Amino acid sequence: MAQEFLEQREANPDVAKRTSDTNRTHINKVSSFIGNDPIRSKTPDDIQNLLNDLRNPDHPLNNGKGASGTYAEKVYATLKQIFDFALKRGYVKENVVKSDEVAAPQRDTAFNRLGSKKTSYVGQRSILYATAETQSISSRQPMSDGGDRTDVDLEYPTLPPYTP
């Protein structure tokens, strides 16, 4: 079914090649998490577990690096498209990705990076690790000569609780 979805996307002149390539990448990533089970057997819990596993750096398929919220959000969007396609073709009775039981991943922002228990964010020039308990950010930046990375710990103030 995923192959049929990709072929339809690639044949559509309104879908850019880069978009189809991205869809293919997302499907390959998702396939490693869910295996070859039929799409009709998937439940909202399966989708939520997949999204959680995708973000979890300790999951064996992630090689110690969980996906960013932004990447997970894009995979979520591709999953919604796949299930919409499957629904139109009669392969499924509902789009379980759109279920209220599935929490849509959120894009990485400074707030949710610092506000979560442990989040990794890959920027253009550095990798930030924020841990709420320690109230610090560790930044690994590449050396200008292309050598080893340097680690820099930055302290940031604790924000007071929001009161309306």
**H or E element at residue 118:** strand 118-122
Buried b (16+ CB within 10 A) or exposed e, 30-43: beebbeeeebeebe
- Please give the structure tokens belonging to residue 24: 């293919």
Q: Which residue has the higher pLDDT, 110 or 49?
A: 49
| Burial (CB count <10 Å: 0-12, 13-18, 19+), residue 138 | middle
Task: Please state, rounded to an integer, the average pLDDT across all residues of the chain.
Answer: 75
Return the percentage of the chain with pLDDT > 70, whole number: 66
Number of Cβ within a 10 Å radius of residue 49:
14
